[in-house]
């Protein structure tokens, strides 16, 4: 096993090329691998070491929930504080546990920021986030019924915990988690503009070259954790040492979670519960422009893996490779050349109002463009496709999409690729008090959003047919853009706009062919 693990380690810098990285593998609480390579700051020639400070990004979310469970044995005491952050909400507000489990029904504030016209690298801090929260008038599903990844769930949790305790969130993290776990250099790195030791995140690729990533976001409970590889090794040891204590903080974080209808949830308390190499696992990834990370723990095998890249390579894929090597998993079977399914094409997902585009990706895969990024689903000989996250299957009434992690299953409506109508004009969203302008520029439609954060850049719309268009959002405040916005024309001339992170927003047409 060690020979295969060491061989896998040697392959990582070339398989996931970039300025630098660090990885660790632990078994039974003991370190099997602890290795770093490359540069934390290539311009200043600062080496990447196991002590380099790193932006752990969304791995923060489990720590935020750890603070909540440590400081408030009954998290329901924070429910009033959660409701107070949403003063204009016209529906029953989500509860604290809905936020912990990404079942709140809130629209993600990084996606909503783009609807308010935010430039990509614009500053976004406490004032901007508070205004987005306060402007929330509706939810895109009833709390507890569905899953949707929402960063501000965890920012709200950290804000409410601060207010309730009268202590800063950085202090809460340090006293409740960092010190007990022995995470000596971990801290709340809310300001993304710089790290104290000079570590830099990078965008780009080997083909285009790497450049320093620009970040102006202030993160807290959603993605503010700064930690070194050694800090994360201490966390994994802490997790493993407490595995048999049902009252330990990680045991509580990893406890089973359900939806309101009793179905098992695959996400809770800031932790994913998706299997790794066919084994039960808990963990989370992280991504911010210039940074990628992944950690998970397999309790049955007592195996931990941590991967940190200061560039945009796939840290989750690297972590899975290390896990497979540590478990001595056999190589996957060779791909079979399966015929094209009869159901390739474009569909509308009725419940969400979003476009689902299904195309052939490889001899044994189809690509599903619905969430971001597009998912590659393995084809099966029974005419279905997919695995744990998404499944496509023929069924009563047509093609069905199952997304167990979201507690969703529904039939897809095929789209008619006929002529589309003229939608040029200016639109207003009452929910956001924001605008969408669509222009006809020499026979091509372009669109952009605007609001209290500014004017977004014009992007070319793509007609799908059936009164459906897509408006691309290739870059956003956060690392991951929301993906294409689906624009669905209604019988009364309004547009319903949405992406997988923020759905069901109605834009009323206020003028035709108006310029921004």
CB 80 within 8 A of CB 87: no
Structure tokens at 274: 């998706």
- Are 432 and 408 within one domain? no
Residue 171 inside a domain? The answer is: yes
- Are 349 and 474 within one domain? no
- Are 487 and 448 within one domain? yes
- Are 200 and 314 within one domain? yes
- Are 247 and 310 within one domain? yes
CATH number of the domain within which 388 lies: 2.40.128.50
Structure confidence at residue 238 (pLDDT): 98
- Are 389 and 295 within one domain? no
Q: Among 355, 381, 414, give the residue marking a domain's end.
A: 414
Residue 174 inside a domain? The answer is: yes
Residue 419 inside a domain? The answer is: no
- Are 444 and 370 within one domain? no
Residue 448 inside a domain? The answer is: yes
Strand 345-349 vs strand 46-47: parallel, antiparallel, or unpaired? unpaired
Residue 102 inside a domain? The answer is: no
CATH number of the domain within which 291 lies: 3.40.710.10
Structural domain tally of the chain?
3
- Are 506 and 391 within one domain? no
Strand partners, 20: 38
- Are 496 and 461 within one domain? yes
Among 7, 11, 61, 359, the active-site one is 61
Residue 391 inside a domain? The answer is: yes
* Angle, vertex CA 515, rays to CA 512 and CA 516, nearest 5: 125
User: Mean pLDDT for each 10-residue chunk of the chain (516 residues)?
Assistant: 89 98 98 98 98 97 98 97 97 98 96 94 91 95 97 97 97 98 97 92 95 92 97 98 96 98 98 96 96 98 98 97 95 82 95 95 92 92 91 96 96 86 94 96 95 96 91 86 92 95 96 59
- Are 404 and 506 within one domain? no
- In the residue annotation, 405 being an active-site residue is answered as no
Among 58, 228, 371, 390, the active-site one is 58
- In the residue annotation, 58 being an active-site residue is answered as yes
306: preceding bond cis by omega (within 30 degrees): no
- Are 69 and 191 within one domain? yes
Residue 22 inside a domain? The answer is: yes
Which range marks the domain in which residue 407 is found? 345-414
- Are 190 and 291 within one domain? yes
Q: Among 326, 355, 381, give the residue marking a domain's end.
A: 326
Structure tokens at 159: 């804000």
Please tell me whether residue 83 adopts helix, strand or coil conformation. Answer: helix
Helix (H) or strand (E) holding 100: helix 96-100
Q: Among 358, 385, 414, give the residue marking a domain's end.
A: 414
């Amino acid at each position: 096993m060690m020979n295969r693990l060491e061989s896998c380690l040697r392959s990582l810098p070339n398989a996931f090329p970039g300025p630098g990285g660090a990885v660790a593998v632990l078994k039974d609480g003991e370190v099997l691998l602890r290795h770093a390579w490359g540069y934390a700051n290539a311009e200043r020639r600062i080496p990447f070491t196991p002590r380099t400070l790193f932006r752990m990004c969304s791995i923060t979310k489990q720590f935020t929930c750890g603070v909540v469970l440590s400081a408030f044995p009954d998290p329901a005491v924070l429910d009033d504080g959660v409701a107070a952050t949403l003063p204009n909400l016209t529906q029953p507000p989500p509860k604290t546990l809905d936020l912990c489990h990404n079942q709140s029904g809130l629209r993600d504030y990084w996606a909503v920021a783009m609807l308010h016209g935010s430039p990509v690298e614009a500053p976004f801090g406490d004032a901007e986030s508070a205004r987005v929260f306060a402007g929330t008038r509706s939810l895109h599903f009833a709390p507890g019924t569905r899953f949707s990844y929402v960063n501000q769930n965890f920012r709200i949790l950290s804000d409410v915990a601060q207010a309730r305790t009268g202590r800063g969130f950085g202090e809460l993290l340090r006293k409740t988690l960092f010190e007990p776990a022995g995470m000596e250099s971990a801290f709340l790195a809310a300001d993304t503009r710089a790290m104290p030791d000079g570590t830099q995140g990078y965008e780009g690729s080997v083909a285009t070259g790497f450049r320093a990533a620009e970040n102006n976001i202030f993160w807290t409970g959603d993605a503010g954790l700064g930690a070194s590889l050694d800090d994360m090794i201490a966390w994994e040891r802490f997790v493993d040492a407490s595995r048999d204590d049902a009252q330990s903080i990680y045991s509580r974080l990893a406890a089973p979670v359900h939806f309101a209808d009793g179905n098992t949830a695959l996400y809770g308390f800031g932790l994913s519960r998706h299997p790794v190499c066919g084994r039960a696992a808990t963990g989370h990834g992280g991504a911010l422009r210039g940074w990628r990370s992944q950690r998970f723990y397999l309790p049955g095998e007592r195996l931990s893996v941590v991967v940190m890249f200061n560039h945009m390579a796939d840290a989750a894929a690297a972590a899975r490779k290390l896990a497979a090597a540590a478990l001595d998993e056999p190589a996957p079977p060779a791909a079979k050349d399966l015929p094209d399914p009869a159901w390739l094409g474009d569909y509308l997902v009725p419940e969400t109002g979003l476009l689902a585009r299904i195309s052939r990706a490889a001899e044994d895969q189809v690509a599903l463009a619905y969430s971001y990024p597009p998912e590659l689903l393995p084809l099966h000989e029974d005419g279905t496709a997919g695995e744990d996250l998404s499944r496509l299957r023929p069924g009563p009434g047509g093609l069905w999409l199952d997304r167990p992690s979201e507690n969703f299953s529904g039939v897809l409506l095929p789209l008619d690729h006929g002529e589309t109508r003229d939608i040029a004009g200016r639109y207003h969203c009452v929910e956001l008090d924001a605008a969408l302008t669509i222009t006809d520029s020499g026979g091509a439609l372009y669109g952009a959003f605007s609001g209290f954060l500014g004017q977004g850049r014009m992007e070319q719309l793509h007609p799908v047919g059936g009164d459906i268009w897509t408006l691309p959002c290739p870059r956003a405040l956060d690392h991951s853009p929301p993906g294409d916005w689906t624009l669905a024309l209604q019988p009364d001339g309004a547009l319903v706009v949405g992406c997988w992170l923020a759905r069901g927003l109605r834009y009323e047409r206020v003028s035709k062919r108006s310029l921004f």
